[in-house]
Amino acid sequence: MANIAAVTDAEFEAQVLKSDKPVLVDFWAEWCGPCRQVAPILDELNAEHGDKLTFLKMNVDENPVTPSSYRVTGIPTINVYQGGEVVKSIVGAKPKAALLKELEGII
């Protein structure tokens, strides 16, 4: 996930909740196989739709506060925030076509 910037607990409110445009946050961890599967798909989506949607990633091991406050219990979890609220939550690795379908109306 080299192309997607990381966000920390400390930066979450400013970068995600107060963003002018929708923000997709990928909650992940180094040891998570499905997280590694979905990473290149998110890189592609970022390249294709980064103008409409901000893509960020959060390592749940390094930043435990935010995932627990949003009840992220399984990873990967992909949440889309708009106006400070979660408008979409996708749990588990999905192929690109399925992610695009889930994100219809947002991108």
Residues annotated as catalytic (active site), given as ranges: 32, 35
* Helix%, strand%, coil% for the chain, nearest 5: 35, 25, 40
Residue 82 in tokens: 């708009």
Residue 42 in tokens: 């998110």
Neighbours of 66 (CB within 10 A): 21
Question: Is-contact 81 19, C-beta < 8 A?
Answer: yes
